[in-house]
Structure 1
């Protein structure tokens, strides 16, 4: 499918409140066959998501330690996480220490998920992911670990106010760029 038709389809699914604010853009290199071009998403005429640009306003993590030390990351811990640690340690660890161990494990898992999502995003082709978005359900796109699928689903008109408001806890565990688009969409409600 050509870029213009793909862009037209993506824009037809965009939430009406974001018309004119969120744009899909692409550049191509006409004479360079091995260069597919660059696709990016702009919000209010400012490039927010350019998969190959490390100077964007959104934080891109380089290591697991950066994620662990980021004070903005809130990872919820539930009783099942604490019980799993208690079972693994056979009850020999003090109660207050169990929470620390559970939080550390959960942050490590979260960090690995974020780094693998970033790596796949930098290697991905916007057009391939956009076509995948058009052929999959909104639920699958929202639940996916793919950052770009999450973003396209969040700006989609088929995601209603109630669903947006119910996703607050899930969004805390997503990449900062996904959280940015979630807050952008919430601001339009």
Structure 2
């Protein structure tokens, strides 16, 4: 599918409030056929999302330690996770320390998922992922661990107000770029 047709298809699925604000853009290299072009997403005429660009306003993490030390990341812990730690430590650890251990385990798991999603994104081809998005059910894109699929689904008109509002807890565990587009979509409700 040509870029212009793909762009037209993607923009036809934008929610009405974001139409004209969110744009899909592409650059190509006319005289370098072996070099692929860049695709990115602009919000209000500002380049917000370029898969491998370090100059975007959203933070790209390089190590697990950066994620663990980021104060902006809030990881919710439930009783089940605390109980798992209690069983693993055979009940000899104080209660307040159990919460710290459970949070540390969950942040480590989250960090690994986040870094693998980022590395997959930097290797992926925007056009391939966009074609997959257009042919797959919207639920599959929302539940995916792929950052780009999540973003395309969040700005989609098929995702309604009730579903957007019910996703608040899930979004805390997503990449900051996905959170940015979630907040953008929530601001239009």
TM-score range (shorter-chain normalised) is over 0.9
Q: Which moved more, 1:55-64 or 1:145-154?
A: 55-64
Deviations 1:9-53 (A, max 9, x none): 000100010011000000111221221100000000000001121
2:75 is aligned to 75
Superposed, 1:1-189 pairs within 5 Å as: 1-189=1-189
Tell me, in whole angstroms, the C-alpha distance in 2 between the residues paired with 1:161 and 1:105: 33
Alignment RMSD (CA, Å): 0.7
Give 5+ residue unaligned stretches, structure 2. none
Range moving further from structure 2, 84-93 or 99-108 = 84-93
Find the aligned partners of 1:9 and 1:48 in 2 and give their Cα distance: 20
Q: Runs of 4 or more off by more than 2 Å in structure 1?
A: none
Aligned residue for 1:31, secondary structure, equals coil
**TM-score when normalising by structure 2:** 0.98
Q: CA deviation at 1:187?
A: 0.4
Q: Is the partner of 1:11 in helix, strand or coil?
A: helix
- Alpha-carbon separation, structure 1, partners of 2:140 and 2:76: 23
Task: Provide the C-alpha distance between the structure 2 equivalents of 1:21 and 1:162, rounded to a whole number of angstroms.
Answer: 22
**Secondary structure of residue in 2 paired with 1:40:** strand
Distance 1:29 1:164 in 2: 38
Partners of 1:94 and 1:136 in 2: how far apart? 48
Q: Distance in 2 between matches of 1:166 and 1:34?
A: 44
Is the partner of 1:14 in helix, strand or coil?
Answer: coil
TM-score (norm. length: structure 1): 0.98
CA distance in 2, matches of 1:96, 1:49: 40
